[in-house]
């Protein structure tokens, strides 16, 4: 009897030693750097089980022993706290660090940049081509309603949510700038300011010219002159689907459209693009000027004039410069 008890005791002791050894090995594996040699980006879908997460990470080389990860999650009772999403796993990441990453939901941050001057149609195409965004676009927003900006998002965010963010950012920016607008502007409301800003955005990309060009347009509005803005004609011809793939000709200026400011007095009925913050600010705080005309100067900027005679000289100079560029093949 005594021998039997002794054998049981020895067996129990050996089992305890074995369990301790397994625990020690498991803990060492849990803390030890993993086998990953270079960064791996993995998407964990919503609803994925702990076993599936562990096995998937094992298959891509993040975990050497998926069962160690599964056991750690079970012992700590944190399976429900693991978050779905897109994760970037660093080389050598340990199972402990993997668990910490998934519990805190530190997913990959993606970026989408909406460039100043794009039309809504162009932005919609960009959204549809952006990897990581999901879902179709529900209602296409109105022209000029999206703020050009860099937006951060996570894998799986919806396209409609991105549109809502850009629209909200535009509304907030317009409200903020409209509240600090210059006095006595010939604009009925903030929407007309956005329309004017869209013309400014399309006319120049130079920071030092925006307020000045806005000032010319404001001066013409006050004098009830036609704005004669070439980008409005291009918009009339393309309906905002994209850039006009050629230069404007004389016949284009006669295009019958409410957007053609060579024919229609005042502002067009809606924006012709999504203007950025700088152009919005320029439209609501234009330079006070008596200039009425501007034309490209052939050097990336514009030549401004107070009189039509001066403007014609600037146009002749620009045509001469353009002819020289054509002769040189540029």
Asked which of 67, 84, 108 is the last residue of a domain, the reply is 108
* 3-class state of residue 50 by DSSP: helix
> 233, 269 in Cβ contact below 8 A?
no
| The predicted structure's pLDDT at residue 17 | 47
Domain assignment present for residue 287? The answer is yes
Within this chain, do residues 205 and 288 fall inside the same structural domain, yes or no?
Answer: yes
Asked if 288 and 306 sit in the same domain, the reply is yes
Does residue 208 sit in the same domain as residue 259?
yes
My answer on whether 85 and 41 are in the same domain is yes
For position 222, what pLDDT does the model report? 97
- Round to whole Å and give the CA distance between 29 and 97: 12
Helix, strand, or coil (residue 98): helix
Question: Residue 151's pLDDT is what?
Answer: 98
Helix (H) or strand (E) holding 43: strand 40-44
Q: Which domain holds residue 96?
A: 33-108
Can you give the C-alpha Rg of the chain in angstroms? 32
- State the number of CA atoms in the 13 A half-sphere of 11 facing the CB: 6
| Whether 14 contacts 64, CB under 8 Å | no
Assess whether 154 and 212 both reside in one domain: no
Are residues 129 and 75 both part of a single domain?
Answer: no
Q: How many domains does the chain have?
A: 3
**Per-residue buried b or exposed e for 214-228, using 16+ beta carbons within 10 Å of the residue's own CB:** bbbbbbbbeeeeebe
* Residue 128 is assigned to a structural domain of this protein: yes
Contact assessment for residue 198 and residue 204, using Cβ atoms and an 8 Å cutoff: no
Q: Determine the 3-state secondary structure of 241 from DSSP.
A: coil
Same domain, 256 and 310: yes
pTM: 0.85
pLDDT at position 19, please?
47
pLDDT in tens, the chain (330 residues): 555 444 554 444 444 444 454 455 556 788 889 999 999 999 999 999 999 999 999 999 999 999 999 999 999 999 999 999 999 999 999 999 999 999 999 999 999 999 999 999 999 999 999 999 999 999 999 999 999 999 999 999 999 999 999 999 999 999 999 999 999 999 999 999 999 999 999 999 999 999 999 999 999 999 999 999 999 999 999 999 999 989 999 899 999 999 999 999 999 999 999 999 999 999 999 999 999 999 998 888 999 999 999 999 999 998 887 765 443 332
Are residues 60 and 122 both part of a single domain? no
Give me the torsion for CA of 207, 208, 214, 220, rounded to 10°. -150
CA 88 from centre of chain:
21
Q: Is residue 28 part of a domain?
A: no
Alpha-carbon distance of 242 to 78, in angstroms, equals 51
Closest CA to 255 of 275, 239, 270, 273: 239
User: Which of 92, 108, 124 is a domain's end point?
Assistant: 108
Secondary structure (DSSP) of 140-209: PPPTT-S---EEEE-TT-BHHHHHHHHHHHHHHHHHHHHTTPPTT-S-SSHHHHHHHHHHHHHH---TTT
At residue 318, the pLDDT reads 86
The CA–CA distances, whole Å, from 328 to 293, 315, 318 equal 28, 20, 15
- Report pLDDT for 320: 83
- Residue 99: what pLDDT? 95
Same domain (yes/no): 278, 199: yes
Q: Do residues 317 and 194 both lie within one domain?
A: yes
How buried is 130 (Cβ within 10 angstroms: 0-12 exposed, 13-18 middle, 19+ buried)?
middle
**Degrees to nearest 5, angle at CA 316 with 310 and 321:** 125
């Amino acid at each position: 009897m005594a021998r039997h008890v002794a054998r049981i005791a020895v067996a129990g002791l050996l089992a305890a030693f074995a369990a301790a050894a397994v625990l020690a090995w498991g803990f060492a594996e849990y803390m030890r750097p993993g086998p990953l040699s270079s960064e791996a980006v993995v998407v964990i879908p919503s609803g994925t089980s702990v076993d599936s997460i562990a096995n998937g990470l094992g298959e891509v080389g993040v975990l050497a022993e998926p069962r160690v990860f599964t056991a750690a999650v079970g012992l700590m009772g944190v399976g429900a706290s693991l978050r779905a999403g897109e994760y970037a796993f660093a080389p050598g990441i340990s199972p402990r660090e993997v668990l910490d990453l998934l519990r805190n939901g530190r997913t990959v941050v993606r970026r989408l940049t909406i460039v100043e001057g794009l039309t809504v149609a162009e932005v919609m195409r960009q959204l549809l081509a952006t990897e990581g965004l999901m879902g179709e676009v529900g209602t296409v927003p109105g022209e000029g309603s999206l703020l050009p900006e860099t937006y951060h998002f996570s894998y799986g965010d919806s396209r409609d949510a991105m549109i809502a963010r850009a629209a909200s950012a535009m509304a907030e920016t317009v409200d903020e700038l409209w509240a600090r607008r210059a006095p006595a502007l010939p604009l009925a409301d903030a929407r007309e300011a956005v329309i004017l800003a869209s013309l400014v955005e399309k006319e120049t990309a130079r920071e030092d010219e925006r307020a000045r060009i806005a000032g010319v347009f404001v001066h013409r509005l006050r004098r009830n002159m036609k704005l004669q803005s070439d980008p409005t004609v291009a918009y009339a011809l393309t309906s905002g689907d994209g850039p006009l793939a050629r230069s404007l000709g004389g016949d284009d200026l006669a295009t019958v459209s409410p957007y053609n400011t060579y024919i229609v007095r005042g502002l067009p009925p809606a924006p012709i693009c999504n203007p950025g913050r700088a152009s919005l600010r320029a439209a609501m705080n234009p330079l006070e000027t008596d200039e009425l005309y501007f034309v490209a100067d052939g050097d990336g900027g514009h030549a401004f004039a107070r009189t039509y005679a001066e403007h014609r000289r600037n146009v002749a100079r620009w045509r001469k410069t353009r002819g020289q560029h054509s002769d040189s093949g540029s």
